[in-house]
Every structure is written in structure tokens, then in C-alpha cells.
Structure 1
Amino acid sequence: MASIAYVRVSTEEQSTGTQRVCIEERHKVDRWFCDEATSGAIKAKDRKGLSELLGYVREGDTVIVYAIDRLGRNTIDVLETVEALGSKGVAVLSLREGFDMSTPMGKAMLTMLSAMAELERSNIKERQMQGIKRAKAEGKALGREKIINDSEVALWRQENSASIKATAMHFGISSASVKRACQAIKQAS
């Protein structure tokens, strides 16, 4: 019977440190699984760390997560993950919500909290889209201000017979920015 922890953050700017500390304060963890810069919108089975966890756990193990939303953002996916763990005889504990998801009451709470979290994310997305629509109607420019001179990038690349990667390194920009710059000049011609 092992205690297994799973932590996840959505972006490279975030750290799993807080989740790890909170879990370590309450539990002695035998094995850690982690997904960094991995959106919860990606199905559990498609996340490397969670997929490895699912293959590793054994009957009698306990999986500890900082919060339910670390398992995923979609209610059905979270429920399927918990069910898959439960079918292997694995208990799932959520620290923030404070319940064991392998019990009948825990499953009921999980379903309600997951549904509420999904509803809140939908509401946030709706408000965001309304804000974007309003800003466009007011004529406001959206997105970051463009700082790349497409002509300069495309010309340098052509004159130096440079690869996209070399051009990106020369200008200190991403490969995608080089591709967009070259495509914009090509379309303008």
C-alpha cells in the first residue's frame, strides 16, 4: 500500500512547489507523478505523468492530489479517472476539498464540485468572449503590439539562405514568428 502523489500545473510559468509542500505536510509520499505545463483540458490518458501513474498504481494504494482540478478540467474526464483508479482498488484523496473520492459520499461530492468547477470555467470563458467582443466594437486593438519587421526578417533570411531556426535565433524571436513574417511578405507580393 503506497502513498502516491500527483501534481500538475498548466503553464511553464507555474510551479508544482506549493502543491508538493501542501501534500508533504500531511502525507509521507512514496512516489510522485507530475505534469508540468500541461493543461487540465488535455484528457488524463493523454498526459504523460497521469498516464504513468495509472499504469503504476496497485490495489490498496492511495493517490493524493492537492485539488480535484489537478486531475482535469472536464467533469467526465475527472470522473473517468477516479473510476479507473477505483476499479483498481485505489483510493483518491483531495486535500483542498478534504474528502476521499473512493467513498460513496466522496463520489457524490466529486461529481457536484467538478460540475460547479466546469460551470465556473464556462462562465469565465463567456465573460472573456463578451469582453473581447466589446473591445472590438469599441475599436480597441487586441493582442500584443507587433514588434517584428516582417520585411527585415524575410529579407535577412533570403539574403543569408538561412533556415527558420537560424533566422529566429538571429532576431531573438520564435520560429513561428519567422514563419508568419515570411508568409506575410509572400502574401503581400
Structure 2
Amino acid sequence: MALLGYARVSTNQQDLTIQKDRLIKEGVKNSSDFLFMDKASGKDDNREGLQLLLTKAREGDTILVTKLDRLGRNTVDMISIIDQLHKRGISVRFLDDGISTEGSMGKMVVTILAAVAQAERERILERTHEGRRAAIANGIKMGRKPSITDKTKAQVLKLAQDGIPKTKIAKDLKLSRQSVYDVLKSS
């Protein structure tokens, strides 16, 4: 019966230290055989650390995770992972939420909390989309700024008419060769 830990952050810029330290404090050994980590979006089905954890975990083991949303990408995924582990005799404890999947009450609570977490993520997405729509309505341009301005297009055309090689045009104007070809093709 081993105590295993799982930590995840969504991007490479984020730090796993707080989650890792918490899991170690709770008794997980600071070893790659017991502590599994990912720097990947929860939407990613192929998280290496999670897959290793699911492979390593054995009947009677307990998996510690700091928060519900660190384990699964949505309610269905969370329930699937928990159900898969439960069928194998492996329990999961969520430290910040103070709950465990041990027993029928624990599994019911996890299902409810996972639904709440998914609803919260959907509200965040909804607010983000509302903010984006409001910004567009107020004249704010979304997305990358165009790399090729009308002035740059004119420069590309003039240099090409002067017989300058396309590679040199791209280098001189700090454009990709494909951008140069796209400008020439569209004129």
C-alpha cells in the first residue's frame, strides 16, 4: 500500500513547487516512483505523468492530489479516472477539498465537486468570451497584429520590380520568404 502523489500545472511557465511540497508534507516520498507531475493543460489526454501514475498505482494504494481540477479535464474525465481507480481498489484524496474517494460517500462527493469545478471553468470561459465580444464591440482588434502593412507590401512590390531576389527581400524587410511570395501573389 503506497502513498502516491500527482501534481499538475497548465503551462511550462507555471511552477509545481507548491503542489509538490504539499504532497511531500502529506507523506508522499520525493521520488519519481511515488511523485508524478505534469506541465500540461488538463485538456490534454496524453499527460505523461498521469499515465505513469495510472500504470504504477496498485490495489490498496492511495493517490494524493492537491485539488480536484488538477486530476481531470472535466467532469466526465474526472469520474472516468476515479471510477477506473476505484475498480482497481485505489483511492484518491483531494487535500485542499478535504475529501477522499474511499467509500460510497466519498465517491458521491467527488462527483458533485467535479461537476461544480466544470461549471466554474465554463463560467470563466463564458466571461472570457463576453469580455472579448465587448472589446470587439468597442473597436479593439483581437489577435496578432498583421505582420505585413500596406507600406511593407509596397516595399516588397517595388523591390521585386527592381529585380531584387525574393530571399534578399525577405531578409532585408525581416519577413519570411512565404510572406514575400504571398504579397507578390496577391497583387
TM-score computed with the length of structure 2 as normaliser:
0.78
- 2:186 is matched with 188
User: Is residue 159 from structure 1 mapped to residue 179 from structure 2 by the alignment?
Assistant: no
In 2 relative to 1, CA 14–186 (structure 1 residues): closer, same or farther, beyond 3 Å? Answer: farther
Structure 2 counterpart of 1:33: 36
The answer to whether the 8 A contact 2:91-2:100 is kept is yes
1:80-116, Cα deviation, whole Å (9 max, x unpaired) = 1011111111111110111111321211111111111
Structure 2 distance, partners of 1:105, 1:186, is: 67
Alpha-carbon separation, structure 1, partners of 2:50 and 2:121: 22
Return the index of the structure with the highest Cα Rg: 2
Give the whole-Å Cα distance in 2 for the aligned partners of 1:19 and 1:61.
Answer: 19
* 1:42 corresponding residue in structure 2: 44
Identity %: 35
Deviation at 1:148, TM superposition (A): 7.4
Structure 2 counterpart of 1:23 = 23
Q: Distance in 1 between matches of 2:79 and 2:14?
A: 25
Distance in structure 2 (CA, Å) of the matches to 1:111 and 1:92: 12
Provide the C-alpha distance between the structure 2 equivalents of 1:130 and 1:182, rounded to a whole number of angstroms: 37
In structure 2, what is the equivalent of residue 3 of structure 1? 3
Alignment correspondent of 1:53:
53
CA contact (8 A) 1:6 1:34 kept: yes
Shift of residue 32, structure 1, vs aligned partner: 1.2
Query: In structure 2, do the counterparts of structure 1 residues 95 and 184 end up closer, same or farther at CA, with 3 Å as the change threshold?
Result: farther
Q: Which runs of 5+ in 1 are unaligned?
A: 172-176
| TM-score between both structures, scaled by the size of structure 1 | 0.77
- 1:92 matched to which residue of 2? 92
Looking at structure 2, the residues matched to 180 and 85 of structure 1 have their Cα atoms a distance apart, in angstroms, of 50
Distance, in Å, in 1 between the alignment partners of 2:87 and 2:126 is 36
Q: How many pairs are equivalent?
A: 172
Counterpart of 1:31, as a letter, is: F
